[in-house]
């Protein structure tokens, strides 16, 4: 969970036990070491949404049964509904726990709830995986698991970079999308949008309320016109948060699936917040054709972050604890004794990561470091090859991942959330350089 302080009431049965339900914030600072063994040294290209993954004779066929087991092993049900498994326990389910806080079901004092709500209001939703195979191509799922992108611009959380191999991604994709259909970007003259008028398609995007929820990067901004059907305010708010950037549609869905979706979204995915907009068959064809075929400008390159120079003033542990460790890191790197035996995925393990025993909730825990692959304690302050402390390297790596860099030897943190600001990283870096004063 992203909100409460360590001083919340009932440290064993109240907030402290549930604060760990935000499983994505800092899972496994040292999770460059994967839980599963690496794939065999055969040619294994990184899949992308723009081309099929080459299957060499040495590769085993995807195994949907293994994929289902991996979905549970990776604890996808801590955030997503519709996984084919029961939801995670309430004190471990990130989204359900946040939603309970926002909707008044979480048992805590009114003062605590009021303090937590601003911190979790944007973290109470994650897209359901219900019927994902009827919408999204297997190739896209596979690619996205290996290299997640910011698919939903209005959603604060994002898909984390898991410790997952290409073979595992194939298995999960085969499970989630048993009936595959190539995306529109690989279709040649799809019949579903033959004869469409792109000009009319753009006009429909602007007039039918699409731009009220969706972004569409690579083209002129959409008009945020009113949605032409009544909507429950809460459903609309959630729909807006999880609405994807339409740019990715051509890499996610076939033309026929887009047409079917626009005709009746709930017939495809019963729990969707996407409303059924009254459209004729011709309008659906025009709209789908525009989304799938309009030329797109290249994405803007994100600059590589620069490590800020050390501050000349003194930095105390109290300052870095309040601004960094206890604001973000401790929710997945907490003290197991404080939280009914589960210190979060960054300490007790989870989301497919090994237990690393890294407790960032207090000075002594941080000083104790983490468990390496040999089960021995290592320091989070040890310097990497370029002289950067490992803790700082992990925070900078999250910025690099957001700029498109592959997962490096030190995984970016916080996992699945926006990077910690360079100014706050500078605070941590300075505190370490000053000998980590209390």
CATH number at residue 161: 1.10.760
**196, 286 Cβ separation under 8 angstroms:** yes
Q: What pLDDT sits at residue 50?
A: 40
Residue 417 and residue 348 in one domain: yes
Question: Tokens 């690099």, residue?
Answer: 400
In sequence order, which residues have a C-beta less than 8 Å from that of residue 30 and are 6 or more positions away? 356, 358, 370, 372, 378, 390, 410, 411
**The last residue of a domain, from among 176, 203, 227:** 176
Q: What pLDDT sits at residue 417?
A: 85
Q: What ranges in 74-137 are assigned the alpha helix state H?
A: 94-102, 110-120
In a domain, 14, yes or no: no
Residue 285 and residue 335 in one domain: no
Decide if pLDDT at 3 tops 50.
Answer: no
Residue 289 and residue 327 in one domain: no
Tens of pLDDT, residues 142-179: 999 999 988 999 998 889 999 999 999 999 999 999 99
Residue 325 and residue 241 in one domain: no
How many residues make up the chain in this entry? 438
Residue 166 and residue 36 in one domain: yes
- How many structural domains are present in the chain? 3
**275, 160 Cβ separation under 8 angstroms:** no
Helices (H) and strands (E) in the chain, counts: 17, 2
Residue 148 and residue 238 in one domain: no
Decide if pLDDT at 36 tops 70.
Answer: no
What mean pLDDT do residues 70-96 have?
91
Residue 124 and residue 194 in one domain: no
| 370: enclosing H helix or E strand | strand 370-371
Residue 223 and residue 342 in one domain: no
Could you give the CA distance from residue 185 to residue 46 in angstroms, rounded to a whole number?
18
In a domain, 257, yes or no: yes
Decide if pLDDT at 31 tops 80.
Answer: no
Q: Which residues of 91-105 are buried (b: 16+ CB within 10 A; e: fewer)?
A: bbbbbbbbbbbbeee
∠243-248-251 over CA atoms, to 5°?
A: 135
In a domain, 401, yes or no: yes
Comparing 165-179, 233-247, 304-318, 400-414, which segment has the lowest mean pLDDT?
400-414
In a domain, 426, yes or no: yes
Residue 336 and residue 245 in one domain: no
| 234: enclosing H helix or E strand | helix 233-242
**The last residue of a domain, from among 145, 176, 207:** 176
Residue 224 and residue 357 in one domain: no
Residue 349: which domain range? 317-433
Most confident segment among 19-28, 253-262, 296-305, 369-378: 253-262
Tens of pLDDT, residues 118-128: 878 888 899 99
Beta-carbon-side half-sphere exposure of residue 93 (alpha carbons within 13 Å): 19
| 233: enclosing H helix or E strand | helix 233-242
Could you give the CA distance from residue 331 to residue 314 in angstroms, rounded to a whole number?
26
Decide if pLDDT at 18 tops 70.
Answer: no
Q: What pLDDT sits at residue 58?
A: 59
The mean pLDDT value of the chain amounts to 85
Decide if pLDDT at 393 tops 50.
Answer: yes
Tens of pLDDT, residues 224-271: 999 999 999 989 999 999 999 999 999 999 999 999 999 999 999 999
How many CB atoms within 10 Å of residue 246? Answer: 22
């Amino acid at each position: 969970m992203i909100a409460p302080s360590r001083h919340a009431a009932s440290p064993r049965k109240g907030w402290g036990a549930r604060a760990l339900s935000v499983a994505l914030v800092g899972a496994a600072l040292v999770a460059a070491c994967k839980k599963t063994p690496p794939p065999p040294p055969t040619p294994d290209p990184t899949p992308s949404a723009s081309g099929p993954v080459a299957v060499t004779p040495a590769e085993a066929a995807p195994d949907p049964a293994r994929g289902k087991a991996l979905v549970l092993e990776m604890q996808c049900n801590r955030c997503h509904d519709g996984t084919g498994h029961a939801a995670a326990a309430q004190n471990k389910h990130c989204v359900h726990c946040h939603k309970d806080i926002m909707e008044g079901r979480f048992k805590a004092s009114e003062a605590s709830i009021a303090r937590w709500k601003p911190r979790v209001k944007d973290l109470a939703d994650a897209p359901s995986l219900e019927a994902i195979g009827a919408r999204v191509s297997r190739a896209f799922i596979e690619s996205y698991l290996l290299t997640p992108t910011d698919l939903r611009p209005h959603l604060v959380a994002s898909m984390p970079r898991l410790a997952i191999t290409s073979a595992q991604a194939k298995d999960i994709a085969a499970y989630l999308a048993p009936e595959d259909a190539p995306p529109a970007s690989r279709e040649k003259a799809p019949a579903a949008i033959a004869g469409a008028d792109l000009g009319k398609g753009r006009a429909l995007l602007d007039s039918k309320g699409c731009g009220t929820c969706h972004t569409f990067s690579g083209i002129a901004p959409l008009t945020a016109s009113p949605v032409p059907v009544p909507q429950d305010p809460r459903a609309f708010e959630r729909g807006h948060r999880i609405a994807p950037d339409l740019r990715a549609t051509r890499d996610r869905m076939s033309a026929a699936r887009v047409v079917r979706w626009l005709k009746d979204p709930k017939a495809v995915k019963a729990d969707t917040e996407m409303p059924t907009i009254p459209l004729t068959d011709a309008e659906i064809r025009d709209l789908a054709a525009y989304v799938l075929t309009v030329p797109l400008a290249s994405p803007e390159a994100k600059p590589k972050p620069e490590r800020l120079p050390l501050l000349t003033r003194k930095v105390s542990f109290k300052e870095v604890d309040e601004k960094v460790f206890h604001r973000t890191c401790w929710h997945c790197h907490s003290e197991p004794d404080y939280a009914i035996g589960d210190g979060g995925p960054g300490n007790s393990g989870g989301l497919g990561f090994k237990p690393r025993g890294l407790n960032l909730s207090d000075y002594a825990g941080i000083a104790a470091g983490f468990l390496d692959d040999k089960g021995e304690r290592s320091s989070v302050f040890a310097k990497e090859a370029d002289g950067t402390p490992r803790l700082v390297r992990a925070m900078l790596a999250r910025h690099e991942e957001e700029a498109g860099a592959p997962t490096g030897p030190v995984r970016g943190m916080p996992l699945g959330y926006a990077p910690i600001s360079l100014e706050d990283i500078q605070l941590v870096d300075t505190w370490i350089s000053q000998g980590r004063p209390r």
